[in-house]
């Protein structure tokens, strides 16, 4: 699915895959989300010691695998020996791209600035620039991607109050991704006025999701995307 297809409808993003049901940031979690019928899947990307973009949220592998240590100090070979849950390996970004191709949009969260360009290059090699949204808390990572490829779609994530919406517009983002507590009617209206989509995260209860949809958010990120799909399907 192309990023442009998300515009003009309410959509659901599987946060780290269907991570409420499967080990986060694994192929199993991505596959489960796609089977559920999500519009997009979000994954977190870091670089291995030898420069491979892989999926991992934390700086270390301790929480999500049976290993210990910093991702940046481990080679791909070392990382691939770990169990990321239910026997899953730590995936390469390339594998995640293969999994979603033509099925869903991939939101690639750049966790470290040095992952920006290698991730972009991989997306370009796969000819998937129109199927990916690069997102980050770090505006410089997004600027770097946009400078390298003006056709890349970008979105700024934020979790604290501030002028993030105006900053996002300045660096040519098409999406803002506020923590759901910051997705106020006023903020949503400003983003829409500046022609940006609003994706709130991370919402796992239907009551909060309904409230945010009523306020006008374009999309919702959830660990339980199947619960949110009922809201999307109301519009069909």
Residues designated catalytic: 15, 57
Contact 107, 40 (CB under 8 A): yes
Nearest-angstrom CA–CA distance, 155 and 202: 16
Q: Tell me how far apart the alpha carbons of residues 199 and 9 are, in angstroms, rounded to a whole number.
A: 12
Candidates 161, 170, 179; CA nearest to 217 is 179
Pairing mode, if any, of strands 11-15 and 40-47? parallel
- Residue 109 · residue 42 · CB < 8 Å: yes
Closest CA to 235 of 202, 4, 219, 132: 219
């Amino acid at each position: 699915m192309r990023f442009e297809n998300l515009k003009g409808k309410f959509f659901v993003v599987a946060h780290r895959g269907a991570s409420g049901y499967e080990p986060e940031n694994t192929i199993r979690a991505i596959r489960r989300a796609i089977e559920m019928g999500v519009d997009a899947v979000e994954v977190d990307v870091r670089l291995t010691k030898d420069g491979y973009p892989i999926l991992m949220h934390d700086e270390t592998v301790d929480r999500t695998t049976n290993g210990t240590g910093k991702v940046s100090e481990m080679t791909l070979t070392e990382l691939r020996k770990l169990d990321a849950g239910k026997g899953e390996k730590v995936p390469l970004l390339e594998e995640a791209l293969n999994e979603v191709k033509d099925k869903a949009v991939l939101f690639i969260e750049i966790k470290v600035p040095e992952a920006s360009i290698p991730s972009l290059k991989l997306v370009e090699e796969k000819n998937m620039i129109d199927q990916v949204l690069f997102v980050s808390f770090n505006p410089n990572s997004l600027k770097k991607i946009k400078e390298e490829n003006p056709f890349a779609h970008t979105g700024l994530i934020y979790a604290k109050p501030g002028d993030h919406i105006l900053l996002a517009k300045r660096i040519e983002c098409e999406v803002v991704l506020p923590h759901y507590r910051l997705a106020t009617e006023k903020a949503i209206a400003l983003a829409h006025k500046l022609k940006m989509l609003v994706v709130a995260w991370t919402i796992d209860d239907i009551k909060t999701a309904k409230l945010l949809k009523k306020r006008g958010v374009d999309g919702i990120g959830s660990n339980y995307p199947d619960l949110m799909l009922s809201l999307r399907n109301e519009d069909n």
